[in-house]
Structure 1
Amino acid sequence: MITVGNDLVRHQLQENRKWYLLLGTLLVIFGIVLMASLGMATLTVIYLFGALMMIGGILHIVAAFKIFEGGYRWMWAIFGVLYIVAGYYAYSSPIKTAIILTSLLAIALIIGGVIRIINAFMLKAYPGWGWTLFSGLLTLLTGILIITTPTSPFWVLGMFLAIDMLFQGINYLTLAAAIKRVPPSY
């Protein structure tokens, strides 16, 4: 039974290999294009954030009046309105939104870095604790660099998007290459 399942998965992967190649190639190209225009990439992130917030707001309002009853209904409706306002704010003030989101990202990285550093010292008795320390220091320094660089709101979010797309593309291309090495199923 396991062989039959593995053969089916192998067959499906080989059938879809060309799509993994295409998707990987497109994501790598988009990642490179975004990396070359970090300002536009950041603007894209802000507008995507705004659109998702407004969609979330609409869904909250619909849920408030279609799903929930009583006092909870108004809480969901208020959250929906707040989401819509936040989304609209992102569209109407993309620069301020970029500053706010980049600052929140930097603060999260600083806090995460400090926590990892503390964890590293708690794990000092175990092998590999130095990697946790290194990760914490790198995360802390990244957060400090972002928060102390005045121009960071204009490129950091775009860089994160570009790097994510680039690595996702490489991931799909690597998967397609690995599928090519798998012997066909019979």
Structure 2
Amino acid sequence: MKTVGNDLVRSQLHQNRKWYIGLGILLIIFGIILLASLPFATLSAVFIFGVLMMVGGVLHFIAAFKIFEGGFRWLWALFGVLYLAAGYYAFNTPVKTAIVLTNLLAIVLIIAGVIRIFNAVLFRALPGWGWTLFSGLLTLVTGIIILKSPDAPFWVLGLFLAIDILFQGINYLTFASYIKHEVPKSSAD
């Protein structure tokens, strides 16, 4: 009985392989386009942030009045207002939002770098601690460069978005190749 389920999964993977290839190629093209126009990619990232904040605000309101009661209801409603305000701010002031988000990203990278460096020093007796130290230094320096660069808000978020989309495309193509070469076709085919 178990082989029937496995055969079905294998068959579906092979049938959907062309979709993985198409989606992978499309995402790679989008990633390259975004890399070529980082300010546009950054603006896209800000608008995605705005949409997510608006959706989060609506969901908090739904939770406040459909799930929670008493004081928690008003706390969730307050979160809904804050999320909606953040989304509204992102749509009405995309450049300022890009500056704020880029600075927050830089601060998080700096903190993460310091924590990794501290962990590397703390665990220096273990093998591989040097890689943790290197990673921490690289993360720390990246955060500092982003924070000190006056034009960073116009390209950093776009770069992160473009690279993410590009690698998602590569991931889909790799998965399609894996299906072709490593997943046997079902016995029903």
Question: TM-score, normalising length from structure 2?
Answer: 0.93
How far apart are the structure 1 equivalents of 2:67 and 2:178? 46
Tell me the amino acid that sits aligned with residue 22 of structure 2. Answer: L
Whether 1:45 and 2:45 are equivalent positions in the alignment is yes
The more displaced of 79-88 and 157-166 is: 79-88
Query: 2:179 aligns to what?
Result: 179
Instruction: Compute the displacement of 1:6 (Å).
Output: 3.9
Deviation of residue 184 (structure 1)? 1.9
**Gaps (5+ residues) in structure 1?**
none
**Offset of 1:10 from its aligned partner?**
2.3
Residue 150 of structure 1 aligns to a residue whose secondary structure is: coil
Percent of aligned positions that are identical = 69
Which residue pairs with 1:159 in the alignment? 159
Structure 2 CA distance for aligned equivalents of residues 17 and 74 of structure 1 = 48
Matched, 1:73 2:73: yes
Aligned equivalents of 2:3, 2:126: Cα separation in 1: 40
Q: CA deviation at 1:50?
A: 0.8
Q: CA shift at 1:185, angstroms?
A: 2.3
1:34 alignment partner in structure 2: 34
Bigger shift: residues 95-104 or 4-13:
4-13
> In the aligned structure 1, how far is the partner of 2:118 from the partner of 2:54?
38
Mapping of residues 79-118 of structure 1, within 5 Å: 79-118=79-118
The equivalences for 1:127-146 within 5 A come to: 127-146=127-146
Partner of 2:126: 126
Question: Deviation digits for residues 31-52 of structure 1, max 9, x if unmatched?
Answer: 0000001101100111111111
Question: In structure 1, what residue type is equivalent to 2:163?
Answer: I
- Give CA deviations for 1:133-168 in whole Å, capped at 9, x if unaligned: 111111111101100100000010000000000011
Name the residue aligned to 2:7: 7
Question: Is 1:56 paired with 2:56?
Answer: yes
Which residue identity does 1:37 align to in structure 2?
S
Q: Deviations over 1:57-113 (max 9, x none)?
A: 112122212222112111111111111111101111111100000000000000001
- For 1:11 and 1:126, the matched residues in 2 are separated by 46
Aligned length: 186
Query: Structure 2: which 5+ residue stretches go unaligned?
Result: none
Moved over 6 A (4+): none
Distance 1:53 1:162 in 2: 21
The one-letter amino acid of 1:58's match is V
CA RMSD of aligned residues (A): 1.3
